[in-house]
């Protein structure tokens, strides 16, 4: 298993995104939030309504261009199974002590549709673009054209045409790596830009791929495939030990739709794990991979760029990882980087060592004496 990390306006934007510090950086400290109590088994989370199984979490603002985070904090010893996530905010699962994840958590972006519908994101993952040819209007919520992928590294709008030969495919969304380009020749469209960095400096989500171009008129209408949505953003942190056992945690980008011309894949999202000790067993898979570019004939959409995965533990603690961890670009047109964007770091102020569950000798002696007293009373009775 391997681990890792045009125009002047575009270059300047890229530099700003890479260099800008976070206003309120993660990791989030579990002790800073009120506990919802001990939770066990499957839970359902709505990050828009800030609810988990009927209990209420809180919204945390990172500031700047980063998404707000829906924070849910659990008591020491909580153990979560399958975690179903809906809603627009990024999500954080925090444990005030040690915590366990042993089920599936899926915040992957939705696939683009073949008939020009765009992929829909969750947990701050950005929406894909609509396929052509009728996608040139401006989305009032984002200020982008409906055909372009949303997000900081959204894929660039594909070209449409009145003829079948003039339409191009959509480019992929970028995040950990740039998205793949779409189209060719005069219909060439660059992939979305890479942005962000180590997720402890700010929790970002993935960007959407652009919709594929279409053609119309003369009695013919060919609709381009919709762009895949970007993977969402999730942070999982424990004050003491974070144990991830036989879990499947995914923040993959959605695939581009096929259609008349392929839509671009969405980029992978962000997964951030932190604790004093982190333990990941061999049955666990964690991924933030880019989506595939949509494919129909030779007009394939651009690959979705890799997401980002970051692991952070205390420098006096430990990281025991036997699982599979992957954040690579999808497949599709353009240059699709093979780099695995997985990063590891330590910090002296991350969490605190787990307290011993074995009582101290004086306390153990008192417990034994009390037990003996109970036995004698029962015998007398």
* Burial class, 285, CB count within 10 angstroms (exposed 0-12 / middle 13-18 / buried 19+): middle
If we measure between CA atoms, which residue out of 262, 320, 327 comes closest to residue 292?
262
Instruction: Concatenate the DSSP letters of all residues of 238-294 into one string.
Output: ESSEEEE-S-EEE-PPPPPP-BSSPPPPPPP-EEEEEESEEEE-TT-EEE-PPPPPP
pLDDT at 356: 53
Q: What is the pTM of this model?
A: 0.86
Q: pLDDT of the chain along its 381 residues, tens only?
A: 333 333 333 443 443 343 333 344 569 999 999 999 999 999 999 999 999 999 999 999 999 899 999 999 999 999 999 999 999 999 999 999 999 999 999 999 999 999 889 999 999 999 999 998 877 777 777 677 788 999 999 999 888 887 777 788 999 999 999 999 998 888 899 999 999 999 999 999 999 999 998 888 766 788 899 999 999 999 999 999 999 999 999 999 999 999 889 999 999 999 999 999 999 999 999 999 999 999 865 689 999 999 999 999 999 999 999 999 999 999 999 889 999 999 999 999 999 998 754 343 433 333 443 443 443 334 444
The pLDDT assigned to 260 comes to 86
CA neighbor of 209 nearest in space, from 190, 226, 195: 226
Q: Is 116 left (phi over 0), alpha (psi -120 to 50) or beta?
A: left
Helix, strand, coil fractions of the chain, as percent rounded to 5: 10, 25, 65
At residue 150, what are phi and psi to the nearest 5 degrees?
Answer: -80, 170
Closest CA relative to residue 195, chosen from 184, 219, 179, 182: 179
Pairing verdict, β 308-314 and 270-275? parallel
């Amino acid at each position: 298993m391997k681990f890792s990390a045009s125009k002047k306006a575009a270059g300047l934007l890229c530099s700003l995104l890479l260099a800008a510090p976070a206003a309120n950086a993660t990791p989030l400290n579990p002790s800073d939030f009120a506990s919802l109590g001990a939770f066990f088994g499957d839970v359902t989370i709505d990050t828009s309504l800030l609810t988990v199984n009927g209990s209420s979490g809180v919204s945390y603002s990172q500031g700047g261009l980063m998404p707000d985070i829906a924070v849910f904090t659990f008591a020491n010893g909580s153990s979560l199974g399958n975690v179903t996530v809906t809603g627009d905010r990024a999500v954080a699962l925090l444990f005030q002590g040690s915590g366990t994840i042993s089920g599936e958590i899926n915040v992957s972006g939705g696939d683009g549709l073949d008939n020009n519908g765009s992929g829909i994101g969750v947990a701050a993952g950005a929406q894909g673009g609509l396929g052509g040819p009728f996608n040139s209007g401006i989305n009032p919520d984002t200020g982008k054209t409906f055909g372009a992928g949303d997000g900081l590294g959204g894929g660039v709008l594909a070209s449409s045409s009145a003829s079948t030969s003039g339409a191009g495919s959509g480019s992929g969304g970028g995040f950990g790596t740039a998205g793949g380009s779409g189209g060719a020749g005069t219909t060439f469209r660059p992939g979305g830009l890479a942005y962000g960095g180590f997720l402890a400096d700010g929790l970002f989500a993935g960007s959407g791929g652009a919709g594929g171009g279409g053609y119309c008129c003369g009695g013919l209408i060919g609709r381009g495939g919709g762009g895949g949505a970007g993977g969402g953003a999730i942070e999982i942190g424990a004050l003491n030990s974070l144990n991830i056992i036989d879990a499947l945690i995914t923040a993959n980008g959605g695939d581009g739709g096929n259609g008349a011309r392929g839509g671009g894949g969405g980029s992978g999202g962000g997964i951030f794990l932190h604790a004093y000790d982190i333990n990941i067993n061999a049955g666990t898979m964690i991924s933030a991979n880019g989506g595939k570019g949509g494919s129909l004939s030779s007009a394939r959409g651009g690959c979705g760029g890799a997401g980002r995965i970051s692991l952070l533990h205390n420098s006096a603690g430990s990281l025991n990882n036997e699982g599979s961890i992957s954040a690579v670009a999808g497949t599709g047109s353009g240059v699709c980087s093979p780099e695995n964007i997985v990063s590891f770091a330590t910090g002296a102020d991350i969490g605190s060592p787990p307290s011993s569950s074995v009582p101290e000798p004086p306390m153990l002696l008192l417990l034994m004496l009390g037990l003996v007293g109970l036995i004698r009373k029962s015998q007398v009775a």
